Amino acid sequence: MSDTALREILDSHGSESGSLVPVLQEIQGKYGYLPAEAMIEVAKRLRVDEATVYSVATFYAQFKLVPTGKHQVKVCCGTACHVRGGSKILDAAERELGIGAGATTEDREYSLDRVACFGSCALAPVVVVDKDVYGRMTPSRVKSVLDDSVRGGQQE
Amino acid sequence: MTFAEIKQRSLSRWETKQRTDKVRIIVGAGTCGQAAGARAVLRAIQASLAKHNLDASITQVGCIGLCYAEPLMDVVKPGQPRLCYGNVTPENAAQIIEDYLLRDNPRPDLALGTLGEGNIPGIPSLKDHPVLGPQVRIALRNCGNLDPRDIDGYIANGAYSGLVRALSMKPEAVIAEIKESGLRGRGGAGFPTGLKWEACRNAPGQPKYLVCNADEGDPGAFMNRALLEGDPHAVLEGMLIGAHAVGAREGYIYVRAEYPLAIEHLNTALAQMHDYGLVGDNIVGSGLSFHLKIKEGAGAFVCGEETALLASIEGKPGIPRVRPPFPAQAGLWGKPTVINNVETWGHVSAIMQKGASWFGGYGARTSKGTKTFSLVGKVARTGLIEVPMGMTLRQIVYDIGGGTSSGKPLKAVQTGGPSGGCLPASLLDLSVDYDSLAQAGAIMGSGGMIVADEDTCMVDLARYFLTFTQSESCGKCVPCRLGTRQMLMILEDITAGRGTPESMELLAELAESVKAGSLCGLGQTTPNPVLTTLRYFRDEYEAHIREKRCPALVCKDLIQYYIQPEKCRACMICLRNCPVEAISGGKRQVHVIDQSRCTKCGTCMDVCPEKFSAVTKLSGQPIPAATPAERSVWQLG
């Protein structure tokens, strides 16, 4: 973790407590997770307790306290996806990656998460890999979608 | 610059674009369009235009709501109506370009219909389309028509004229007009918007704040995403009108982080508004100053609750607090705050553009105007729709949605997300308005409408919602934190075949306690899916509990996959695809699933060729033992 990058993020925000969430979001955007040292630094700069930073970091699902994989695989488990077989897509992704939801592969290539809803319900079930949204998924399409991400994004 | 001058400039810019002799190609590139493959279609269009050396402008627009037909592509030839094509692939996009532009063949076989004035022989008008015909698009008036990255198009089409009208009126008169329109909050609870504004205006304390609640967390709902992606100006204009009416100088738009395209379009719109003097200090010379900030959510469903959302903007965990005082008295940083939903703000701008009586002319007695819904699940024509309140569920699901996607009987319609209820087919003639839905035990909610057919297990659906709300409970109120957990455990027991006859009563009792003992809307409404399924689908609970049977063949612990020997053609496909090698058999030998190894992933059923359809699910009955004859060689032909 480079101190300058962290300092730049902290400098670009004011020191009011309302900045806490956006600051943490930016740190996570930069590092992929919230390193403990960074959270301590944030507490100092925004003049709040370390416990406050930690409580915010653990309250919101977006924040990760451990490093995540290079590619973020998110399987939508919203209602529309659920009634159209989203759990089977999740099963297939778990099988394909060999990890459960919420985990990261050993080679740090993929993190797998279940997400409540992407709002692409009309195309349920949906999988999102990094920034690409894949609709009308089937369990057998999961592998090709994962391969896609290695090739650098949505090809179809 | 005065607004008249801005409008003049936008009009001429926009008209120049419209009047061009060039062909215009319009591609629906909202999140849904992109998920369906709009980007590949876009590339194919560009390649085809280049190949034939054709000059055409390409515009990317938001969602027109025909989600089932995504990706959508429209072609407008000069002097011709806009021709809309659905389910476009890269291949047929290129073909359409060649046929229509080079050979003047509009391809009626691929076209959905025409939009706007004029007609093309052999192609219907989309006005008569079953999805668009019954709709009244007020909040969604520009979605799918204009390029959300170009403010001129919006101003040329009437945007900000409502603001100008409001600015010519006293703030009290604006509030009176919103009250007269009958507008109620579109976030779900349905509180009268004008009353909320008045309370905030009259509350002591400065400064006052406005907040747009764009934390659309209900799974199965995407109306707000589509509106922000397709017409951010409708929402932003509404907020400016609110700022004038309430006397606020600062506002926040709280958007969930899962909506990156909505955030991008909001940022673009705000930057263009700054350039035009439509936000910031002394807006269009009127003396009104209003500053807007975008706050990204961080993934907490409870932040859709207004007091939790305010806490989140303040940089705290999103934990609700007791009301009263309501945010209109003491909201953001303890100051009077109006917080309205995206769609509400979108309606506000329309009301100020066209008047309260025009808006009040639509809708039902106590639910005026229109409501947007995301019509999804097992419905043939999924989509984003906006209809006058008071339409029946049947009209929405059958006339607009085309019935179930499977053709099987409809079982339920779920409204209002995890806070709502599951309404049975017998209530299809229910009028969709705030009061009728509440009476039936559901809620309007923000507008998610999920259709379930026979293959949906209602006990599993209740369990699904509880899984969601239990993990999203902020934990402040014990009945919600622990009650939802206990309810979930009971539902897990029932769906796993461990339910007892007492389970249902205990579940109902817990549900009532959670409802009564929780501070915020999340806890108070979390039991609704359980209570409504207990009320309307009791027989399904009983089948799970007494017969250990899942009638919809969904609950994994109660079903078994079975290959019907008389249908199996020993093609080896399921056998090769089974991830746990639980299927035995061989060439010319009927395949059999070893139930002790089967993980019930359903792969065999998915891959079994449709013409054989040999794999079936059984529940509540033993798997027939394979006879030696069946196990032996299968006779070819």
The torsion angle over the Cα atoms of residues B433, B436, B437 and B440, rounded to 10 degrees, is -170
Q: Which residues of A touch B374 (CB under 8 A)?
A: 80, 121-122
Residue B268 has pLDDT above 80, yes or no: yes
Instruction: Enumerate residues 92 to 131 of chain A having a beta carbon within 8 A of any beta carbon in chain B.
Output: 92, 95, 115-124, 126, 131
Residues in chain A: 156
Residue A14 has pLDDT above 90, yes or no: no
The DSSP annotation for B86-118 comes to -S--HHHHHHHIIIIIIH----TTTEEEEESSS
A51: enclosing H helix or E strand: helix A50-59
All domains of chain B, ordered by start, with CATH?
A: 18-128 (3.40.30.10), 160-360 (3.40.50.11540), 370-453 (3.10.20.600), 458-546 (1.20.1440.230), 556-631 (3.30.70.20)
Residue A2 has pLDDT above 70, yes or no: no
CB contact (8 A) between residue A21 and residue B298: yes
CB contact (8 A) between residue B35 and residue A126: yes
Residue A155 has pLDDT above 60, yes or no: no
All domains of chain A, ordered by start, with CATH?
A: 3-59 (1.10.10), 71-150 (3.40.30.10)
Q: Is B579 exposed, middle or buried (0-12, 13-18, 19+ CB in 10 A)?
A: middle
Phi and psi at B345, nearest 5°, equal -60, -35
Residue of B nearest to A15 (CA): B315
Q: Which runs of E-coded beta strand occur in B544-634?
A: 559-563, 583-586, 589-593, 615-619
The conformational region for residue B186 under phi > 0 = left, psi -120 to 50 = alpha, else beta, is: alpha
Q: What is the mean pLDDT of residues B605-631?
A: 86
Nearest CA among B53, B55, B52, B28 for reference residue B39: B28
B629 pLDDT band, cuts 50/70/90, is low
Instruction: Yes or no: say if B396 and B370 are a contact pair by the CB < 8 Å rule.
Output: no
B435/B443 Cα distance (integer angstroms): 8
B527/B426 Cα distance (integer angstroms): 22
Max CA-CA distance within chain A? 51
Query: Which stretches within B518-591 are classed as H helix?
Result: 521-525, 528-536, 538-546, 573-577
Residue B224 has pLDDT above 50, yes or no: yes
Residue type, B452: A
Share of chain B above pLDDT 70, in %: 98
Residue B535 has pLDDT above 70, yes or no: yes
Q: Is B494 exposed, middle or buried (0-12, 13-18, 19+ CB in 10 A)?
A: buried
Residue with tokens 């915020």: B520
Q: Which residues of A touch B297 (CB under 8 A)?
A: 60, 62
Residue B626 has pLDDT above 80, yes or no: no
Picking from A46, A55, A61, the nearest residue to B299 by CB comes out as A61
B73/B91 Cα distance (integer angstroms): 13
Tell me whether strands B559-563 and B583-586 are parallel, antiparallel or unpaired.
unpaired
Residue of A nearest to B449 (CA): A80
Min CA distance, B550 vs chain A (Å)? 15
B637 pLDDT band, cuts 50/70/90, is very low
Residue of B nearest to A64 (CA): B298
B200/B194 Cα distance (integer angstroms): 10
B27: enclosing H helix or E strand: strand B23-28
B621/B637 Cα distance (integer angstroms): 32
Residue type, B104: D
Q: Which residues of B touch A152 (CB under 8 A)?
A: none
CB burial readout B55-69, b (16+ within 10 A) else e: ebeebbbbbbbbbbb
Give tens-digit pLDDT for B92-111.
Answer: 999 999 999 999 999 999 99
A140 pLDDT band, cuts 50/70/90, is confident
Tell me whether strands A71-76 and A110-115 are parallel, antiparallel or unpaired.
parallel
Query: Is the CB of A63 inside 8 Å of chain B's CB atoms?
Result: yes
Residue of B nearest to A54 (CA): B317
Q: Which residues of A touch B382 (CB under 8 A)?
A: 80, 121-123
Nearest CA among B153, B148, B193, B146 for reference residue B351: B193
Task: Name, in order, each residue with C-beta under 8 angstroms of B596's C-beta and a sequence gap of 6 or more.
Answer: none
How many beta-carbon pairs under 8 angstroms link A with B?
166
Nearest CA among A1, A37, A118, A21 for reference residue B376: A118
CB contact (8 A) between residue A117 and residue B316: no
How far from chain centre, in Å, is Cα A37?
20
Query: Is the CB of A153 inside 8 Å of chain B's CB atoms?
Result: no
B636 pLDDT band, cuts 50/70/90, is very low
Q: Is A151 exposed, middle or buried (0-12, 13-18, 19+ CB in 10 A)?
A: exposed
Give tens-digit pLDDT for B120-159.
Answer: 999 999 988 999 999 999 999 999 999 999 999 999 999 9
Residue A119 has pLDDT above 90, yes or no: no
Q: According to the model, what pLDDT value does residue B627 have?
A: 66
Residue type, B444: M
Residues facing residue B73 across a β-bridge: B27, B85
Strand B370-377's sheet: what is its strand order?
Answer: B383-388, B370-377, B448-453, B410-415, B421-424
Task: Name, in order, each residue with C-beta under 8 angstroms of B575's C-beta and a sequence gap of 6 or more.
Answer: B583, B584, B585, B586, B591
B494: enclosing H helix or E strand: helix B478-495
> If you average pLDDT over every residue of chain B, what do you get?
94
CB contact (8 A) between residue B382 and residue A140: no
Give tens-digit pLDDT for B164-189.
Answer: 999 999 999 999 999 999 999 999 88
Residue of A nearest to B380 (CA): A122
Residue of B nearest to A77 (CA): B219
Give tens-digit pLDDT for B404-458.
Answer: 999 999 999 999 989 899 999 999 999 999 999 999 988 888 899 999 999 999 9
Q: Which runs of E-coded beta strand occur in B95-187?
A: 111-115
A115: enclosing H helix or E strand: strand A110-115
Phi and psi at B137, nearest 5°, equal -95, 100
Residue B237 has pLDDT above 90, yes or no: yes
Q: According to the model, what pLDDT value does residue B625 have?
A: 79
Q: Which residues of B touch A22 (CB under 8 A)?
A: 295-296
